[in-house]
């Protein structure tokens, strides 16, 4: 098989690594890829989606896999399908599940899927009346996409009203905040659940946990994610069953009923409160860094999983995972997430420790190659991935690798997987 991966981050690189160890795969292309993906495949500098479809036709691509949401919401899947190309991802209409919080909340409530009680409105007085009836801790969200920043957790009704006003007047998030979703605060723990879907059938991947805040102890600003691990012990068979019956299956039924059957990765951001799952959000793509810790656990050939999903044949597949744990620690540039950072050469020590050598790898993200040397280009630069029989073993190996990677301004959290380690004995 010849496969085209669309995207350039650690997520796409990790999908590339999974395909690399898959004997069914002959060649991997990345569009555009990064400075390290050219080592496992060929980078293609094409951004325009119609031109990318031309490339796929001309190069006999058997399967395209889309990483980020932007090409999905721009309709890359529709463009490829019109050209009779096989592509893994949701259509433009199905990808709407991620674009607007109001659309998503309405979808959840009309399909009876558990989520926080909410009101969607552009009218301050209406919101204010709703807030008066709520408990003190309230979440105010801008409707549109705000790069993960449009969510404010307010400690009082007065604060919630103040933030609502600022949003509706366009002060805090511009156009994206001119409609708000105000909802009850859910007090629990968060999980990232991924279902690979083919419009009708699905395969659930092991639950992962991300660490969104920049600093240890979940402090500091939100980021794209500073590390992840899977599977998490914070979910048991009973909760998996509830998630399937109360969330995944009604979501697929609802999407089909709406005339937008969902195929691709369905990313469900869950809050678990007293053993019950509540949907915080959907995304129409893999999480990053969650993908980087899930791909190494996949025993089923990755090409088969994605191809069967893209062609509506997931019911033919028995998905298998390694009985291992995986921990990924993001190493970011100096000024992440506030701004750009100077280019910095990446030096990786020769790894002599056999345990680290055999059970870790790097998933590259914000890197470029100049004169055969790798440079950190800013943002999240790479992930150190560790595998083990326990979360602790995987975590120690990942951190062992972190100590062998060097560049100016390197920073990372030192407590990835801490919630799981509290559970693991
Ligand atoms: P969202 O973009 O809606 O997923 O929200 C971003 C983050 O805000 C989530 O990952 C949660 O940590 C937090 N959050 C959002 N909604 C709620 C809620 N109703 N209760 C508690 N925390 C929330
Ligand atoms: N890691 C969270 C996300 O990809 O949105």
Q: Is 183's C-beta closer than 6 angstroms to any atom of ligand 1?
A: yes
Ligand 1, atom 19, lies closest to the CA of: 185
Pocket of ligand 2 (CB under 6 A): 210, 224-225, 283, 287-288, 290
- Ligand nearest to C-alpha 280: 1
Instruction: Say which DSSP state 141 is in.
Output: E
Q: Per the domain annotation, does 226 fall within a domain?
A: yes
Is 171 a member of any domain? Answer: yes
Pairing of strands 2-7, 63-66: parallel
Question: What pLDDT, in 10s, does the model give residues 189-200?
Answer: 999 999 999 999
Report if residue 163 sits inside a domain: yes
What are the tens digits of pLDDT across the range 127-155?
A: 999 999 999 899 999 987 666 668 899 99
Q: How many angstroms is it from 224 CA to the middle of ligand 2?
A: 6
Q: Which of left, alpha, beta for 305 (phi over 0: left; psi -120 to 50: alpha)?
A: alpha
- Interval 244-276: pLDDT, tens: 999 999 999 999 999 999 999 999 999 999 999
Task: Kindly report the number of other CB atoms within 10 A of residue 129's CB atom.
Answer: 12
Do 345 and 360 belong to one domain?
yes
Residues 311 and 231 in one domain: yes
Which domain-ending residue is among 44, 73, 90? 90
Does the pLDDT at position 423 exceed 60? yes
pLDDT of residue 144: 78
Token pair belonging to 161: 């009203």
Confirm whether 111 is domain-assigned. no
CA 244 – ligand 2 centroid, Å: 21
pLDDT value of residue 425: 54
Same domain, yes or no, for 194 and 177?
no
Report how many domains make up the chain.
4
Q: What percent of the chain has pLDDT over 70?
A: 98
Domain for residue 98, yes or no?
no
Ligand with the closest atom to the CA of 102: 1
From the CA of 289, how far away is ligand 2's center (Å)? 7
Domain boundary among 316, 338, 355: 316
Q: Could you tell me if 243 and 335 lie in one domain?
A: no
Average pLDDT for 43-68: 97
Domain that holds residue 64: 2-90
**Which ligand is in closest contact with the Cα of 194?**
2
Instruction: Write the residue with the smallest CA distance to atom 3 of ligand 2.
Output: 287
pLDDT band at residue 404, thresholds of 50, 70 and 90?
Answer: very high
DSSP conformation class of 371? T
180 and 207 part of one domain:
no
pLDDT of the residue at 102: 83
Helix axes 157-168, 124-132, angle to 10 degrees: 160
Domain CATH code at residue 214: 3.30.470.20
User: ∠88-376-230 over CA atoms, to 5°?
Assistant: 50
Helices (H), 74-142: 76-82, 96-99, 101-110, 124-132
Is 33 part of any domain?
yes
Q: How far apart are CA 333 and CA 261, in angstroms?
A: 39
Distance 149 CA to ligand 1 centre (A): 10
- In the reported structure, the alpha carbon of residue 185 is separated from the centroid of ligand 1 by a whole-number distance in angstroms of 8
| CA–centroid distance, residue 269 to ligand 2 (Å) | 9
The answer to whether 30 and 8 are in contact (CB under 8 A) is yes
Please check whether residues 211 and 298 belong to one and the same domain.
yes
Task: Tell me if 103 is assigned to some domain.
Answer: no
**Lowest-confidence pick of 103-117, 174-188, 379-393:** 174-188
Question: What is the reported pTM?
Answer: 0.94
């Amino acid at each position: 098989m010849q496969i085209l991966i669309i995207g350039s981050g650690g997520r796409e690189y990790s999908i590339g690594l999974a395909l690399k160890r898959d004997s069914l795969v002959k060649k991997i292309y990345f569009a555009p890829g990064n400075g390290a993906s050219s080592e496992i495949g060929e980078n293609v500098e094409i951004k325009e989606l119609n031109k990318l479809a031309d490339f796929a036709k001309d190069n006999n691509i058997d399967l395209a896999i889309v990483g980020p949401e932007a090409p999905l919401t721009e309709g890359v899947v529709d463009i490829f399908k019109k050209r009779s190309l096989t592509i893994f991802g949701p259509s433009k209409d199905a990808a709407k599940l991620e674009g607007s919080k109001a659309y998503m909340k309405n979808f959840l409530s009309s399909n009876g899927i558990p989520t926080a009680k909410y009101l969607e409105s552009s009218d301050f007085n209406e919101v204010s009346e709703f807030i008066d009836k709520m408990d003190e801790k309230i979440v105010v969200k801008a409707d549109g996409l705000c790069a993960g920043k449009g969510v404010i957790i307010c400690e009082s009704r007065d604060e919630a009203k103040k933030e609502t006003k600022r949003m509706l007047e366009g002060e805090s998030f511009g156009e994206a905040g001119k409609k708000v979703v105000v909802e009850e605060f859910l007090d629990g723990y968060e999980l990232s659940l991924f279902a690979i879907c083919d419009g009708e059938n699905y395969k659930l991947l092991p639950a992962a946990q991300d660490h969104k805040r920049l600093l240890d102890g979940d402090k500091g600003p939100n980021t794209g994610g500073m590390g992840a691990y899977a599977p998490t012990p914070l979910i048991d068979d009973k909760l998996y069953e509830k998630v399937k019956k109360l969330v995944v299956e009604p979501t697929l039924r609802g999407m089909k009923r709406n005339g937008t059957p969902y195929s691709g990765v369905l990313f469900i951001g869950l809050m678990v409160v007293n053993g019950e799952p509540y949907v915080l959000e959907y995304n129409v793509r893999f999480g990053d860094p969650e993908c980087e810790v899930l791909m190494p656990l996949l025993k089923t050939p990755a090409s088969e999983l994605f191809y069967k999903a893209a062609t509506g044949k997931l019911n033919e597949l028995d998905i298998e995972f390694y009985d291992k744990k995986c921990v990924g620690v993001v190493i970011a540039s100096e000024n992440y997430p506030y701004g750009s950072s100077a280019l910095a050469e990446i030096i990786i020590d020769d790894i002599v420790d056999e345990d680290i050598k055999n059970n870790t790898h790097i998933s590259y993200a914000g890197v470029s190659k100049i004169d055969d040397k790798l440079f950190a280009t800013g943002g999240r630069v790479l992930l150190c991935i560790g595998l083990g029989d326990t979360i602790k073993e995987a975590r120690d190996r990942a951190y062992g690798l972190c100590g062998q990677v060097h560049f100016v301004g390197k920073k990372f959290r030192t407590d990835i997987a801490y919630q799981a380690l509290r559970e693991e004995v």
